[in-house]
Amino acid sequence: MKFYSLNHQSPEVSFDEAVISGIAPDKGLYFPKEIKPLPYSFFDKIELLSNKEIAFTAIHQFVSETIPDSKLNAILDEVLDFDFPIVEIEENIVALELFHGPTMAFKDVGARFMANCLGYFSEGNNEEVTVLVATSGDTGGAVANGFLGVKGVKVVILYPSGKVSEIQEKQLTTLGKNITALEVDGTFDDCQRMVKRAFLDNEITKHKKLTSANSINVARWLPQLLYFLFAFKQVKAKGRDIVFSIPSGNFGNVCAGMVAQKLGMPVKHFIAATNVNDTVPQFMKTGEYQPKPSTATISNAMDVGDPSNFIRIRELYENDFSKLKENFSSYSFDDVTTKATMTKIYNKTRYVTDPHGAVGYLGLQHYQKHNPNTFGVFLETAHPVKFLDVVEETLNISPSIPEQIKKVMGKTKIALKISSYDGLKSHLLQS
């Protein structure tokens, strides 16, 4: 399978090249040349398959040119060594819990898959690869954890000082080894701008092979399709039209779900729920795409004003607005509504949602008002303790802290403070 650039000014590449370069030379995102549907029998009998078997069959066509089957099996063993349970919230609504991995966010799947692929591609390659990544919170921890100790790969994480939660900061600043954290005096947008500038800076790229571990990288984006299939396996017997609601920021997760649908998974509709950063909900209303600066919210992993993967969604629907609209809706919710919903769910069911999951639930509920005979799955994208202060303050509870989190809380933060692009540049040139 080849991958092409969505800017159409660069040659097609194989999976390994797309992973190593992250973004095409013409600055376009890579996209698979073809998505071959899986046989009907795969979906018809999916409940007889293990998650590992499902994953292997689904991801194989995208990577098989550059990863042998035995290696792919080994990678999937490592990546998928935790559960993806469905929890019933209401009669027609379940949560798909994606937070049972090492950093308790769904990004563990993509980050670990990418780390394993890059580690494999670096074997026998003398040139070291530097993964440069900007995080608003969750990406940093998942990437740090996934890449820790991977030979031939160094990781540099930029995060906005004082704007990530304490747990998130610990997860990305305490590992050491091949992971360096840069604490930026600025916002997430500043971090992202610096990263983009570094990719274009010849003085750096002359000396260093840089790649991105944001969801623009195909190795982080594509494996996210797998847990949509694991969810389908669990809810298929409900015998209703299935809809997925995905709390969205950069729109990589929802886009991966749509790839699962292209593979033949029967889904009636996708809902992307956002916080007040409503560039896509506005687009779905007006047909005009107008990016804007991001606004800080309690669901900080979705504070994105110009979602990088939305262009992939448009490509999946051949840039046809009416086709997209048939299969996709997007709604925005503010923090007050989100908190009220966390409370409502908790009071009714004792289920604790994190602010992102609560936004996903809201999207689903809104859609089901007009489409009552559907069965809804919303993605619970992070464990509530990752947003401890919001959860405590909103629900008046003190949730118990899981082992994964306790382990990092006691460790010492190590981060280099930088306040401008020059700080990043000199770090990259020296290290």
Q: So which residues are the catalytic ones?
A: 107
Amino acid at 69: D
Please report how close the Cβ of residue 399 comes to ligand PLP at its closest, in angstroms.
16
What is the spatial distance between Cα 353 and Cα 361, in angstroms, rounded to a whole number? 9
Closer to ligand PLP by Cβ: residue 74 or 296:
296
Amino acid at 229: L
Q: Which stretch binds ligand PLP (CB under 6 A): 201-209, 243-251, 323-331, 388-396?
A: 243-251
* CB within 8 Å of 169: residues ≥ 6 apart: 159, 413
The reply to whether 107 sits near ligand PLP by the rule CB under 6 A is: yes
Closer to ligand PLP by Cβ: residue 32 or 247:
247
The reply to whether 257 sits near ligand PLP by the rule CB under 6 A is: no
Please report how close the Cβ of residue 251 comes to ligand PLP at its closest, in angstroms.
5
The reply to whether 356 sits near ligand PLP by the rule CB under 6 A is: yes
What is the spatial distance between Cα 201 and Cα 237, in angstroms, rounded to a whole number? 53
Q: Which residues of 3-30 are buried (b: 16+ CB within 10 A; e: fewer)?
A: bbbbeeebeebebbbbbbbbbbeeebbb
Rounded to 5 degrees, what are φ and ψ at 14? -85, 175
Please report how close the Cβ of residue 375 comes to ligand PLP at its closest, in angstroms.
22
Please report how close the Cβ of residue 246 comes to ligand PLP at its closest, in angstroms.
7
The reply to whether 382 sits near ligand PLP by the rule CB under 6 A is: yes
What is the spatial distance between Cα 425 and Cα 100, in angstroms, rounded to a whole number? 36
Q: Please list the helix, strand and coil fractions of the chain in percent, rounded to the nearest 5, in that order.
A: 50, 15, 35
Residues 133-152 that bind ligand PLP (CB under 6 A): 138
Please report how close the Cβ of residue 338 comes to ligand PLP at its closest, in angstroms.
12
Are 132 and 195 spatial neighbours (Cβ–Cβ below 8 Å)? Answer: yes
Please report how close the Cβ of residue 159 comes to ligand PLP at its closest, in angstroms.
13
Closer to ligand PLP by Cβ: residue 46 or 280:
280
Q: Which of 66, 116, 248, 353 binds ligand PLP (CB under 6 A)?
A: 248
What is the spatial distance between Cα 5 and Cα 18, in angstroms, rounded to a whole number? 9
Residues 289-308 that bind ligand PLP (CB under 6 A): 301-302
The reply to whether 105 sits near ligand PLP by the rule CB under 6 A is: yes
The reply to whether 247 sits near ligand PLP by the rule CB under 6 A is: yes
Tokens of 119: 């580690």
The reply to whether 75 sits near ligand PLP by the rule CB under 6 A is: no
The reply to whether 215 sits near ligand PLP by the rule CB under 6 A is: yes
Query: What region, left, alpha or beta, does residue 152 occupy, with left being phi > 0 and alpha being psi -120 to 50 degrees?
Result: left
Please report how close the Cβ of residue 27 comes to ligand PLP at its closest, in angstroms.
19
Tokens of 235: 């809810």
The reply to whether 261 sits near ligand PLP by the rule CB under 6 A is: no
* CB within 8 Å of 246: residues ≥ 6 apart: 253, 254, 257, 270, 271, 272, 273, 360, 363, 378, 379
Tokens of 381: 């994208």
Tokens of 277: 């950063």
What is the spatial distance between Cα 396 and Cα 352, in angstroms, rounded to a whole number? 11
Closer to ligand PLP by Cβ: residue 62 or 378:
378
Closer to ligand PLP by Cβ: residue 119 or 252:
252
The reply to whether 167 sits near ligand PLP by the rule CB under 6 A is: no
Q: Which stretch binds ligand PLP (CB under 6 A): 54-62, 251-259, 396-404, 405-413?
A: 251-259
Closer to ligand PLP by Cβ: residue 366 or 425:
366
Tokens of 337: 């509504």
Tokens of 23: 């973004």
Q: Which stretch binds ligand PLP (CB under 6 A): 88-96, 162-170, 233-241, 247-255?
A: 247-255
The reply to whether 159 sits near ligand PLP by the rule CB under 6 A is: no
The footprint of ligand PLP (CB under 6 A) covers 105, 107, 138, 215, 247-253, 301-302, 356, 381-382
